[in-house]
Amino acid sequence: MMKKMLAATFLLFLVGVAVWNFAVQKEAEIGIEKGDKAPDFTLSSLKSGKDVSLSDFKGRKVLLNFWATWCKPCQIEMPAMEELQNEHQDITVLAVNFTSSEKNQQAVETFAERHGLTFPIVLDQEGINAKYEIFSYPTTYVIDENGIIEDIVLGTMTKKDMEEKLGL
């Protein structure tokens, strides 16, 4: 009788471990909240005109920044993003410009040249800002190597803030 109880207890333990393991390792749902898998998108690059997708950067930490040239706080943080990208080659700064709110694409090009921006800038004329429910600029998503949203920051960040959010 004791052996049957011990076997039943052991079996229940194994079932519990299996259920817990399955629940913990289930893939994150696609969404725009912390812990969600960031929705993928493909937009044209400002520099090359070629398509750039968020999924192109899988395996790297990504600072996904939504911005516009007319946004004063965006103007303040862009140089810090450039410094960050130059100093930390293992991360990617990906800037999504709210292009439909700009005077024209030339305004975005002029802004990028004036600030010496070399990180990828993509042009959102497709509504990615709406998909991510962006209501204020800048808004930045910190995304881990697996495409999971680690943090969301509304407003301007300093380079130190960015490094802290990225765990650098």
Question: Average pLDDT in the 13-17 region?
Answer: 50
pLDDT value for 2:
61
pLDDT at 109 over 90: yes
For the segment 101-113, the average pLDDT, to the nearest whole number, is 94
Q: What is the mean predicted confidence (pLDDT) over 153-164?
A: 95
What pLDDT does residue 26 have? 56
Calculate mean pLDDT across residues 146-166. Answer: 95
Mean of the pLDDT values across residues 121-134?
92
Choosing among 1.10.340.30, 2.60.120.260, 3.40.30.10, 1.10.3720.10, the CATH entry for 30-166 is 3.40.30.10
pTM attached to this predicted model: 0.82
List pLDDT tens digits, range 128-155.
Answer: 999 999 999 999 999 999 999 999 999 9
For residues 21 and 7, what is the distance between their CA atoms, to the nearest angstrom?
Answer: 21
**All structural domains of the chain with their residue ranges:** 30-166
Q: What is the pLDDT of residues 21-77, one digit of tens each?
A: 555 555 679 899 999 999 999 999 999 999 999 999 999 999 999 999 999 999 999
Please enumerate in sequence order all residues whose Cβ is within 8 A of that of 133, keeping only pairs 6 or more positions apart, or say none. 32
* pLDDT number for residue 100: 87
Nearest Cα neighbor of 66 from 16, 137, 165 is 137
Could you give the 3-state DSSP secondary structure of residue 37? strand
pLDDT at position 9: 58
Reported residue count of the chain is 168
Write down the residue that tokens 């913990």 correspond to: 24
Amino acid at 162: M
Give the Å distances, CA to CA, from 33 to 48, 61, 141.
31, 17, 9
